[in-house]
Amino acid sequence: MTQQTTTEALAEDVSQAPAKVRVTVYAKPSGCQPCKATMRKLDKEGIPFNKILVHDEEKTLIDELKREATLLGVTGELPCVVVYDASTEDTHTWFGYQPTEIMKLKERLQP
């Protein structure tokens, strides 16, 4: 998969997600345990998400995720979860398996 393909997939996922809150999970194609656990937990809690596979050759995307991790002061280990709220234009990002963050997100999404 090339960078262009990933970018196209992201654009397609975003355009198909009409909800005011969009969740995107950047994960390894090999299905690392933290990536699998994150997606399982999101599914279990009924939180819809878009999955973007991050291949080793996608250096630009990897560098961007590393910069984001540096800004947050954390290690940039996948998965990377990005929550975008279209109503406020706020973005919340975390790295790794964070069940507490998922539960906070679930509470926030409940009517």
pLDDT band at 102 (very low <50, low <70, confident <90, very high): very high
Q: How buried is 106 (Cβ within 10 angstroms: 0-12 exposed, 13-18 middle, 19+ buried)? A: middle
Max intra-chain CA distance, the chain: 41
Pairing of strands 80-85, 90-95: antiparallel
39 has pLDDT over 90: yes
Is there a contact between 4 and 61 (Cβ–Cβ < 8 Å)? no
Nearest to 102 by CA among 14, 32, 34, 39: 39
Q: Which amino acid is at 55?
A: H
pLDDT band at 82 (very low <50, low <70, confident <90, very high): very high
Where do the structural domains in the chain lie, given as residue ranges?
A: 3-9+20-109
**85: helix, coil or strand?**
strand
pLDDT band at 30 (very low <50, low <70, confident <90, very high): confident
Q: Which amino acid is at 46?
A: G
CATH topology of domain 3-9+20-109: Glutaredoxin (3.40.30)
